[in-house]
Amino acid sequence: MSQRIAIAQTQGCFAAPLAALDQLDDEARRARTNGADLLVLPEMFLTGYNLGAERCADLAITLHDPLFDQLRSVAIRHNIALCVGYPERVDDRIANSAALIDASGQLLLNHRKVHLFGALDRAMFSCSGDRFDVVVWQGWRVGLAICYDIEFPESARLMGLAGADLLLVPTALMTPYDVVANHVVRARAYENQVYLAYANRCGSEQTLDYVGLSSIIAPDGSVLAQANADFGQIIAPLDPVRQAEIRARDPMLADRRPTLYHPLAQAPLVQARSNPR
């Protein structure tokens, strides 16, 4: 079934979840008016990303929090599915999470970031995910990855092998990593023959400058829509016929030779050698 997907590239509302909910309402209305069936927001949209440990813990919510119920209400009110990033409280720990909520308000998938990015993530989050699940939305098999997750090829490949047709990637990509937005995510879509929605922040937040460059990518790696560095929405169709044609033309997953790849899961990290004196 053909669907339309939108990305809202935004600076967000730093440490102000109620203001973020108001913005989400506006973005969802706009996306639905433009014919989108699914709206993807950036990493940690609900609160802002570069919060620091104490503020992040204060703003973290559970799946049963009234704020989470309001996310569901936005989806229902505008009859649109949402992918929204937020800090999740998991017992006494905090996870960097993103929820996929359908247009009826049902939670389809809650992904916890698996690969924490450097000191910045590790200062705020003590709970990391341990899986890449795939769920069904409107006939599409959908997987979720958050920011740094997609920079590991194994992450997208796991979802591709689980039958994913579409990968959603809420992100907070800052300078100088524009190579990820311009090249890496296109490779992930191409090598797994999936549609990929990469939803980034724009503007600045504390000490971070975000590159924008959100994009919606086809299964052959071509860019269907890409934002610049500014605030705005992009939208593109998901075409199952095009995806099927690409997969039939180049059966890359079927042509794999998995028996040769076992060492990848067991190989130790090889440290770079020092330059010879």
pLDDT of 162 above 70: yes
Omega cis (within 30) before 176: yes
Q: How far apart are CA 52 and CA 60, in angstroms?
A: 12
Q: Report the pLDDT value the prediction gives residue 68, as an integer from 0 to 100.
A: 98
Q: Dihedrals φ, ψ of 191, to 5°?
A: -75, -15
pLDDT band at 277 (very low <50, low <70, confident <90, very high): very low
- Mean pLDDT (the chain) is 95
> Which domains does the chain possess?
3-266 (3.60.110.10)
Over range 93-100, report the average pLDDT.
Answer: 98
Q: Identity (one letter) of the amino acid at 110?
A: N
pLDDT of 271 above 80: no
- The residues carrying an active-site annotation are 43, 113, 147
Strand 107-112 with 93-101, pairing? antiparallel
pLDDT of 63 above 70: yes
Tell me how long the chain is.
Answer: 277
pLDDT of 270 above 80: no
Q: Report the pLDDT value the prediction gives residue 275, as an integer from 0 to 100.
A: 44
